[in-house]
């Protein structure tokens, strides 16, 4: 029997216990032995839960028990999750986590520490919920140079946008439903203001390009400014406005950003609705591949956590090669201002203004939208070039296009 400990018995922690219990035999077969949850660390008691008597409140109980081979951290937040992760690694325990804040902030240091102590630090559940994306980028696409990674990385905001667009729901009630379903962060501002997606895109950028950017410093715009104008413009041009995390290199520097993008209907990401995430990887040999599935929620996220547990426990005899990330220097990174792409514009004015805008933006499409407005898609250019081209016109909104 192999003993493990769970840190944090919230949505994902209790979901992981459920996966480990429900699929016990299957998991034992993969690991070669039964996996036992010896401890659950939480501030609360769970007297009615079948594993309630395994709850402890002191991390030392877990750290000091040599029988515990692996710790699954699902506490959320930076502290004390980071501190407990460090301590567990230093105590020679493998760690798996769903905690994107810890990976995005301390990933370089924790991976280095894990290598030093000859243990694993895996984080499949930190991006895309249940979708396999970390391992595929690390292993299955290792023969490729990654050109870009773009996609819907936050289930809560995609759920809200879909509800608003499809059912005309208001923002507050859609958010409440996402919270009731266990999708949202403890502080949902992290979802709606784009920080959760920012943490995830810097993790993907690190996997793709080897350097970890500061998630608090990349260009980040959430969905709080999305209005009916966006929906109307997107509908007129055939597509949807989605909150997108995007990373690529520009002139040898890493760009990572989060922003609402217009996604034309030819791009499969435009059809990713509800709590689902869709991550489009463009690789130089494979071409484009879409990773699609449940991006948040109890059992989908737990499924990825337990996959990491199995991965480690079924390869205990081998020392794993962990990603070798570095912290990005100022010279190694750049920002959204250098992104050359098409832009969606909604402008106000007469048909003459629309003609003028079409020429200035070298637009391929210009369609009338109700209320005497026009939606246009510019030729590829930077956001500044596009804004400057329309400086004499009344621009209602502008968003980049994800082609
Ligand atoms: N709040 C996150 C989301 C949870 O909605 O995607 C999964 O990381």
Domains and CATH numbers, the chain: 2-129+298-326 (3.40.50.720), 140-294 (3.30.360.10), 340-400 (3.30.70.1150)
pLDDT band at 319 (very low <50, low <70, confident <90, very high): confident
Atom in ligand 1 nearest the alpha carbon of residue 178: 5
Q: Distance between terminal CA atoms of the chain?
A: 50
pLDDT digits (tens, 9 = 90+) for 80-94: 999 999 999 999 999
Mean pLDDT: which of 68-77, 226-235, 348-357 is highest?
68-77
Q: Are 149 and 143 in contact (CB under 8 A)?
A: no
CA-nearest of 252, 293, 242 to 400 is 242
Residue 381 sits at φ, ψ, to 5 deg, of: -165, 170
Distances (CA, A) of 238 to 271, 361, 375: 11, 19, 11
Q: Determine the distance separating the centroid of ligand 1 and the alpha carbon of 137, expressed in angstroms.
A: 20
Indicate whether residue 124 lines ligand 1 (CB < 6 A). Answer: no
Least confident residue range of 27-41, 50-64, 385-399: 385-399
Beta carbon of 193 within 6 Å of any ligand 1 atom:
no
The DSSP annotation for 268-330 comes to GGGG--TTEEEEEEEETTTEEEEEEEE-SSHHHHHHHHHHHHHHHHTTTTSPPPPP--EEPPG
Q: Does the Cβ of 277 fall within 6 Å of ligand 1?
A: no
User: Whose CA is closest to 245, among 274, 219, 284?
Assistant: 219
Residue 218 has pLDDT above 90, yes or no: yes
Residue 371's nearest CA partner among 394, 390, 342 is 394
Confirm or reject: Cβ of 101 under 6 Å from ligand 1: no
Residue 320 has pLDDT above 90, yes or no: no
Instruction: Taking residues 337-364, report their average pLDDT.
Output: 94
Tell me: pLDDT of 318 over 90: no
- Listed in sequence order, the DSSP H helices in 117-243 are 134-135, 155-167, 171-180, 189-192, 195-209, 228-237
Task: For the full predicted model, state whether its pTM sits above 0.85.
Answer: yes
353-389 per-position pLDDT tens digit: 999 999 999 998 899 998 889 999 999 999 999 989 8
pLDDT at 18: 98
With a cut of 90, say whether residue 286 has pLDDT above it: yes
200 in active site: yes
pLDDT of residue 365: 83
Which residue do the tokens 């990385």 mark?
A: 153
CA distance 195 to 215: 7
156 Cα to the center of ligand 1, angstroms:
6
Using a 6 Å cutoff on CB, does residue 197 contact ligand 1? no
**67-122 confidence digits (pLDDT tens):** 999 999 999 999 999 999 999 999 999 999 999 999 999 999 999 999 999 999 99
Is 165 near ligand 1, meaning CB less than 6 Å away?
no
> Residue 35 above 90 pLDDT?
yes
Peptide bond into 244 cis (omega under 30): no
Percent of the chain whose predicted confidence (pLDDT) is above 70: 100
Q: What is the spatial order of strands in the sheet that 373-377 belongs to?
A: 365-369, 373-377, 343-348, 394-400
Q: What is the pLDDT of residue 364?
A: 86
CA 138 – ligand 1 centroid, Å: 22
- Mean pLDDT in residue range 211-240: 95
Average pLDDT estimate for 396-403: 95
Distance 286 CA to ligand 1 centre (A): 28
Displacement of CA 297 from its chain's centroid (Å): 13
> Is residue 1 classed exposed, middle or buried when 0-12, 13-18 and 19+ CB atoms within 10 A define those classes?
exposed
In ligand 1, the atom with minimum distance to the C-alpha of 184 is 1
């Amino acid at each position: 029997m192999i003993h493990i400990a769970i840190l944090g018995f919230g949505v994902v922690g209790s979901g992981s216990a459920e996966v480990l219990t429900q699929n016990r035999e299957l998991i034992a077969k993969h690991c070669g032995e039964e996996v036992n949850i010896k401890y659950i660390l939480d501030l609360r008691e769970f007297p009615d839960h079948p594993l309630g008597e395994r709850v402890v409140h002191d991390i030392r109980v877990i750290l000091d028990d040599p029988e515990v081979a692996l710790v699954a951290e699902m506490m959320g937040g930076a502290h004390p999750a980071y501190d407990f992760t460090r301590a567990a690694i230093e105590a020679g325990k493998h760690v798996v986590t769903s905690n994107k804040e810890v990976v995005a902030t301390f990933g370089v240091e924790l991976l280095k520490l894990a290598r030093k102590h000859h243990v694993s630090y895996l984080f499949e559940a930190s991006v895309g919920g249940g979708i396999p994306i970390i391992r595929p980028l690390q292993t299955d696409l290792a023969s490729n140079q990654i050109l870009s990674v773009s996609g819907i990385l936050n289930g809560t905001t995609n759920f809200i946008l879909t509800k608003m667009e499809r059912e005309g729901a208001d923002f507050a009630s859609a958010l409440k439903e996402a919270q009731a379903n266990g999708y949202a962060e403890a502080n949902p501002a992290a979802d709606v203001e784009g920080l959760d997606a920012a943490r995830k895109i810097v993790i993907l950028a690190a996997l793709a390009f080897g350097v970890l950017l500061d998630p608090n410093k990349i260009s980040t715009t959430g969905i709080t400014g999305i209005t009916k104008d966006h929906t109307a413009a997107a509908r007129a041009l055939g597509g949807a406005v989605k909150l997108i995390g995007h990373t690529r290199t520009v002139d040898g520097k890493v760009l990572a950003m989060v922003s609402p993008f217009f996604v034309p209907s030819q791009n499969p990401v435009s059809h990713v609705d509800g709590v689902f995430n869709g991550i489009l990887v463009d690789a130089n040999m494979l071409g484009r591949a879409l990773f699609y599935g449940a991006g948040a929620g109890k059992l989908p996220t737990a499924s990825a956590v337990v996959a990491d547990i199995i991965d480690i426990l079924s390869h205990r005899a081998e020392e794993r090669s962990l990603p070798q990330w570095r912290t990005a220097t100022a010279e190694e990174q750049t920002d959204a201002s250098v992104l050359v792409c098409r832009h969606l514009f909604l402008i106000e004015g007469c048909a003459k203004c629309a003609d003028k805008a079409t020429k200035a933006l070298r637009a391929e499409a210009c369609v009338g939208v109700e209320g005497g407005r026009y939606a246009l898609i510019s030729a590829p250019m930077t956001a500044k070039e596009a804004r400057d081209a329309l400086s004499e016109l009344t621009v209602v909104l502008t968003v980049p296009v994800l082609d």
